[in-house]
Structure 1
């Protein structure tokens, strides 16, 4: 795989809770310099990132229900609408893990579908936190995400343990089929990691250590 092709598959992220305005400015300049096509920042910084990146054709994405997923559907919908108003062009929401664990599948599906509606056609990815789920729960979650009308299933936030593995990416790809998105995030630290994950079926990667990945280094960051 050509380096530029891999670069364009990576969502460069800066989601630490202590990030400053100066950090965001530096981060956005890095996105420009290295040619990333999409970045993710916390909702508070979406307006600033959009201002800095919109003229460069770089999309700004926002995490919704981050990083636990336990917010009400109404809260996630409001957060989604606000993020879009502020310039977000992609949405990564966290699945309601408590409802999933309680086998309240109608609740899980409704939660996702309402955020999808609020996204108004923008790419919407749903994070399942694969490290917190057993094999059957991963399958069930992936099926619900497809049924709810989202565009991607995403492995993890990287903040709650676990992360993308080759085995889980293969499993998710087998469940959602060839024409549905699979985003791998959490634990992808090197160029070799990225190639293995893409080979397993991922078509997007989320990484805060994206620069190290595309330059052949090793990132200490797991999300």
Structure 2
């Protein structure tokens, strides 16, 4: 099975996180972009400040690889205004997909109106600009009940406020890949988590991000019903190798 069109090849480390200078980190981003172009992956997922450079590289290569970026990453605690400002700049810079971090802490604290407001307004912004919107719910920060409830909340908001033709462009996404867990527990997509998300987000699509490190794991996620897989080891996965990365 050719899984390339399921893969969002991902590099989201800052220079500090990578232990690199800004110039060195940009070189890594460029390597990821070139690889995505060469391998014909669905999308390259990078930080907002790298969207312009990435768009230039893809245009120069006459490639169909799409560009995704993260909004309010990785904690999702910013105001609606900040989220929308970041999204507006990403769109202006040439992003195709906007991966918003949901304010999952507000959700856990039962501040549901705040969460509904940001989901509704940011989703509307993305769809009105003909972009794919993904909502990162950070499953490692949630218990099973919260995963089910937040997935269903996003689904119900989209169904209630947008046309059916838009459903395929609003994803529920598992993880940022940057959440720190206790005792080195998984911080991304697991089979039980993805099953809960797929069952409760449908008909919205699900993106499995974090923890998919082999071709077999990717195939399993696809069979469970995910439409995208976020990974920093996309090439290793398609080549049947085991990735040495957590995301």
The corresponding residue for 1:220 is: 244
The answer for unaligned runs of 5 or more in structure 2 is 16-23, 159-168, 182-186
Cα deviations by residue, 1:164-204 (Å, 9 ceiling, x for unpaired) = 01111111111122x31100000000001111111222111
Larger radius of gyration: 2
Could you list the runs of 4 or more consecutive aligned residues of structure 1 that deviate by over 3 angstroms after TM superposition?
Answer: none
The corresponding residue for 2:229 is: 205
Report matched runs for 1:2-151 at 5 Å.
Answer: 2-3=1-2, 6-18=3-15, 20-54=25-59, 55-119=62-126, 120=128, 121-149=130-158, 151=170
1:20 deviates by 2.1
The corresponding residue for 1:189 is: 213
Cα deviations by residue, 1:118-151 (Å, 9 ceiling, x for unpaired) = 2123110101111110111111111221233371
- Contact 1:32 / 1:56 at 8 angstroms: preserved in 2? yes
| Counterpart secondary structure, 1:20 | helix
Tell which deviates more after alignment, 8-17 or 50-59: 50-59
The answer for unaligned runs of 5 or more in structure 1 is none
How many residue pairs get matched?
219
TM score, norm. by length of structure 2: 0.85
Cα distance between partner residues in 1 of 2:112 and 2:93: 31
RMSD of aligned C-alpha atoms? Answer: 1.3
Cα distance between partner residues in 2 of 1:155 and 1:78: 23
TM score, norm. by length of structure 1: 0.94
- Contact 1:95 / 1:126 at 8 angstroms: preserved in 2? yes
Cα deviations by residue, 1:8-48 (Å, 9 ceiling, x for unpaired) = 10100110111622222211111111111211100000000
The corresponding residue for 1:174 is: 199
